[in-house]
Amino acid sequence: SEEAAEAATTGEAAAVEEPEEQAPGETEQSSYNGVLSTSTFTTARRLGGSVKELRAAVSGTAGWVREKYNKERFAEVNARMDELEEKLEAEMGSLGGSWSLYFKHLDSGRTIGIRDREQMVAASLIKLFVAGEFFTETEEGILSEESYGSLPDSMINVSDNGAANSLINAVGMESVNEFAAKNGYPATKLNRRMLEWNGTENYTSAADCGKMLEEVLRGQYVSKRASERILTALKNQARTGKIPAGVPEEIETANKTGELDNVDNDAAIVWSPSGTYILCIMSANSGYRIPEIIALSRMVYNTMNGIE
């Protein structure tokens, strides 16, 4: 069982009954009393581990149980992801302009990246990182969250540029860039306010946005409280005509879009039957590409769920 494999890798203590069969090299299985349950031992032995390996797994020095268990558990997912990667590379290779894509199946941890670390024009995706610095400063007591009311929510769920500029003015552009650099978003750079044309652009990458969404989902983006507020805003997104439009209506999504002339972006969490995943798609220098983003999203969803 899943619980058994988890216990074998984390070393969770459990009271056990005396087992019926003995392990090779041990007089009795009871030497694992207080460490491994009988079901855990049986699962681990079925996966081919020796007693020495079992001890190593329990002590946290070997990950063989988790690795073998996950390989068996996610065999179908891995096969579908192999198929998906081939499809995406072929499809994106035929599209004009500049494209990047990041995909992560959260249960298995497997990712697909197609130029996903390439710095691209962010458009309104930059607002995800403005939110990060804003909530950092409210958590630290530098700013009063109550004083800004619903501005953080409006910045995300209706992409309000005025709200974004108010928050940028409050925290400062350089602070947003320091937040991105310090927290592992190397491609993210805020160079101007919204609708302020100064000869430069704001940048991020599909990988940066994917990492941010995963941290939000896990409650690790700034804080659990900040993550929950951002996730709620993403779920209440008014602009759902890109990645969410490529999945069935009943499937829950949370997303943030970005668009400028010749730029179409979307970063989304999708609660799919085959496992929750993150999909970020960015395009530039290619004109109006919403239909292509929808098609890529549909390709991802259908392939991962075995839909022909």
Give the per-residue pLDDT at 40.
54
What is the pTM assigned to this prediction?
0.79
**Mean of all residue pLDDT scores within the chain:** 87
Residues 67 and 113 in one domain: no
Give the per-residue pLDDT at 308.
87
Residues of the chain above pLDDT 90, percent: 74
Give the residue with greater pLDDT, 7 vs 144.
144
Give the per-residue pLDDT at 291.
97
Give the per-residue pLDDT at 57.
61
Of 72-76, 97-101, 142-146, minimum mean pLDDT range: 72-76
Indicate whether 8 pLDDT > 50: no
Residues 154 and 278 in one domain: yes
Residues 242 and 111 in one domain: yes
Residues 157 and 294 in one domain: yes
- Pinpoint the alpha helices (H) of the chain: 2-10, 38-46, 51-58, 64-73, 75-93, 127-139, 151-157, 161-171, 173-182, 206-217, 224-235, 290-304
Residues 17 and 165 in one domain: no
Mean pLDDT of 62-70: 66
- Number of domains comprising the chain: 2
Cross-strand partners of 103: 112, 279
Residues 107 and 51 in one domain: no
Q: What is the DSSP letter of 1?
A: -
Residues 66 and 104 in one domain: no
Give the per-residue pLDDT at 59.
61
Confidence of residue 63 (pLDDT cuts 50, 70, 90): low
Residues 214 and 283 in one domain: yes
CATH of the domain at 233: 3.40.710.10
Confidence of residue 19 (pLDDT cuts 50, 70, 90): very low
Range(s) of the domain holding residue 194? 75-304
- Dist CA 144 CA 135 (whole Å): 10
pLDDT in tens, 146-162: 999 999 999 999 999 99
Mean pLDDT of 235-253: 99
The two tokens of residue 302 are: 């259908």
Give the residue with greater pLDDT, 162 vs 37.
162
Confidence of residue 32 (pLDDT cuts 50, 70, 90): very low
What is the identity of the amino acid at 278?
Answer: I
Which of 249-282 are b and which e, b meaning 16 or more Cβ less than 10 Å from the residue's Cβ? Answer: eeeebbbbbbbeeebbbbbbbbebebebbbbbbb
Give the per-residue pLDDT at 286.
75
pLDDT in tens, 226-242: 999 999 999 999 999 99
The two tokens of residue 80 are: 């579908």
Residues 165 and 208 in one domain: yes
Residues 130 and 255 in one domain: yes
Confidence of residue 296 (pLDDT cuts 50, 70, 90): very high
